[in-house]
Amino acid sequence: MIGKKAARDKARSKAHRKSARRAAEKESSVQQSATERRVKDVARKRYAQCTKAVEVDISMQGPRTGSRTEKTASPVAATAFVGRRQPSDWDGGLILTKDDAIKHGLRYIAWDGCEPKALLDKAGKICAVLVGSPKDKVGWAQVNDQAQSLFDQARSEFKLDPKQTTHRRGSYPAVAAGISYGGGQTRVSNLSHSDHNEGIVSRLLQHPAIKRLAGFGDGEHD
């Protein structure tokens, strides 16, 4: 009898856990759907604000010289999805001025940096959007001024490693923060810094100006 009772209790416990798991999955699905709807609503709002659209050529070909098309000299991965990493002293790129680029067949698109503008491919599909800036011009300018002051102060206080001053993105200070996964990691983890540097990073991330910049970039508000 004791064995049968234990088996029944075990079965009921298993059924309860299964029911709780299904309820949690359903709740998660509802929350995810709500988030997806919100993201789509934001995307539609951004698109509606794009009163002007520009058609651009996004082929994988480089600048044109005369009637001949030259392929870009920049090394790319086999899939052509990303560029291959190059040494920090690599000098294989071609630096063009605006006039040089136009002479090579590239197109100059005038943009004031404020009004949203959609970039369309030849099929009329959006391939990129110049999102512009919030309508609150004065407040947005103040946010950028505050962010500049914050980064200037952080740069003077942060104890940088040499690899953080010269890297594949250029020769300027850059510090990574937040959640990281990849590069051999076996699990998701937060990037770590020394106690001194961590305090500086945390101060930046908690400042309202930085939060507003990040929020606008994520399309959460403004």
pLDDT of residue 142: 94
Specify whether 111 is located in the same domain as 183.
Answer: no
132, 167, 202 — which closes off a domain? 132
Q: Which string of DSSP letters, residue by residue, matches 112-154?
A: -SSS-EEEE-TTS-EEEEE----S-HHHHHHHHHHHHHHHHHH
Radius of gyration of the chain (CA): 26
What percentage of the chain reaches a pLDDT higher than 70?
A: 65
The answer to whether residues 68 and 104 touch, using CB atoms and an 8 Å cutoff, is: no
Specify whether 153 is located in the same domain as 113.
Answer: no
Of residues 56 and 10, which shows the higher confidence score?
10
Structural domain contains residue 13 = no
In angstroms, the CA 2 to CA 14 distance is 18
The answer to whether residues 19 and 11 touch, using CB atoms and an 8 Å cutoff, is: no
Domain of 56 in residue numbering reads as 46-132
Torsion 4-6-7-12 (CA) sign: positive
For 90-137, write each residue's pLDDT tens digit. 555 567 788 888 888 888 888 888 888 888 888 888 888 888 888 888
Q: Which residue has the tokens 């659209």?
A: 53
Q: Are strands 117-120 and 52-55 parallel, antiparallel or unpaired?
A: parallel
For 139-157, write each residue's pLDDT tens digit. 999 999 999 999 999 999 9
Per DSSP, the three-state class of 213 is helix
The answer to whether residues 81 and 163 touch, using CB atoms and an 8 Å cutoff, is: no
Structural domain contains residue 16 = no
132, 150, 181 — which closes off a domain? 132
Of residues 62 and 195, which shows the higher confidence score?
195
pLDDT of residue 51: 52
Specify whether 146 is located in the same domain as 114.
Answer: no
**Mean pLDDT computed over 41-59:** 61
Specify whether 160 is located in the same domain as 104.
Answer: no
Specify whether 111 is located in the same domain as 143.
Answer: no
Specify whether 160 is located in the same domain as 180.
Answer: yes
**Is pLDDT at 59 greater than 70 in this prediction?**
no
Structural domain contains residue 210 = yes
0.75 exceeded by the pTM? no
pLDDT of residue 131: 84
pLDDT of residue 22: 78
69, 101, 132 — which closes off a domain? 132
For 166-196, write each residue's pLDDT tens digit. 877 778 888 988 888 877 778 888 888 899 9
